[in-house]
Each structure stands twice: as structure tokens, then as C-alpha cells.
Amino acid sequence: MALGYKQISYQVENLTPLLHIWRTKSLSNTTTVPVLLPKQKNCPAVVTDSTEIIKFLESYQPQPSLYPDNALQLAEAIRLEDYFDESIGTAARNVYCQFRANEGKYIDPSWMSRAVIGMIRWRYGINVKSAEMASVKLADAIALLSEFWQDGFLVGDRFSVADLTAAALLCPLKSIPSYSLKYPWLFDRIAEIHQICNEPLPKNW
């Protein structure tokens, strides 16, 4: 979404969860995605971690900026990005995988998909209890977003890295009916943010 916002063309290489480790480890000493391979002169070969990727993109192509101009607002946008990254990223994964393993099996009933979801649940200890705890975290984050997103942005009066991160991480919840029915405004805003970022909505939106 950051690349789309800055209108930098890119190609996506999707990786299968867990098997992704072979690829990410061979590129850099990391087990997580996203990983950016700039393939440009005078740029690093690999940039890992979304915070670092956005920092790199801001220096590679400063405009349009994802960072607020004002120093206080910049600190707040980076703090929120970090909070969303650490809190709602894993919470959304827990809730989404628990849903896919139960009521959401219809989304992809193939054995391959069920095996991947099963492995992710095992790897991250996802079960009824951890998914319930995660849903409380998500409710808190959504309550925070409802104060800002119904008619504005999270920091100051323009779009920033904080809005982008929240939208990207909460996007998968759209396929869970209890979320899409309860928070229609949230998914309308996420759709608008995809537009701001010149990005298509995920399949089956």
C-alpha cells in the first residue's frame, strides 16, 4: 500500500505461510514478511520490517509523504504504527485463523488451505481462548479508530503511515461476517484508504 501511495511500480511475490521462512531466511536473516527487494542503483538489496520499508521509501521518494511534517505528529504517527503492528497485526491473525478453521471453512475448503491454517494455528498457539483475547484487543483498537476515522485521519488532518497500517492489518476481518456486519463504517474507510493508495481491494471484498 505504501508503494501504491507513492505510485512506485512493484511486483508481489506471495509466500505460503510457514514455508515462507526458507525464502525470507535466504534473502535476509528474517522470518517475517514483508521483505522489500528494491533492485535499484544505490539502494540496499533487501529491506525488512514494514517500519523500515516505509522509512526507506520515504527517503527514496519523499513525495507524497506518509509522514506528517510536524515533529510531534510524526512521533505520534510512528507510535501508532508500532502499536498497530505489534497489537492488531497478531490479534487479527488469531481471530482470522480461528474463524477459517471453524465457521469460515467455506472460504477455501481445500485440504491444502486447511493444512496451512492448521499449521499456523499450531505455530502461534491459536485456539478459542487466544482468539477471544485477540478479539478484545481488536475491539479496543476499533473503538480508537471509530473516534478518528468516521470523519478524518488518525494524526492531524491528512493521511499518514498510521492510517495505512491500521487499514492494511484490519483488512482480512472483512471476510468475517460478525465484523463486516458490526463495523460497516470500518470497511468503508478501509476501502477509501485503498483508493488513496491506488490499490485494488482484495479479492471477494
Binding site for ligand GSH (CB under 6 A): 31-34, 49-51, 85, 89
Nearest residue (CB) to ligand GSH, 34 versus 38:
34
Nearest residue (CB) to ligand GSH, 51 versus 87:
51
95-to-66, 131, 136, 162, 176 alpha-carbon distances in Å? 28, 5, 10, 22, 9
Shortest reach from residue 138's CB to ligand GSH, in Å: 15
Cell of 131: 482468539
Shortest reach from residue 32's CB to ligand GSH, in Å: 3
Cell of 122: 499450531
List Cβ neighbours of 113 (8 Å cut-off, separation of 6 or more). 100, 107
Cell of 85: 503492528
Nearest residue (CB) to ligand GSH, 2 versus 176:
2
List Cβ neighbours of 130 (8 Å cut-off, separation of 6 or more). 94, 98, 124
Nearest residue (CB) to ligand GSH, 32 versus 198:
32
Nearest residue (CB) to ligand GSH, 36 versus 193:
36
Using a 10 angstrom Cβ sphere, with 0-12 exposed, 13-18 middle and 19 or more buried, the burial of residue 33 is middle
Shortest reach from residue 91's CB to ligand GSH, in Å: 12
Shortest reach from residue 152's CB to ligand GSH, in Å: 25
Helix (H) or strand (E) holding 36: strand 35-36
Shortest reach from residue 15's CB to ligand GSH, in Å: 9
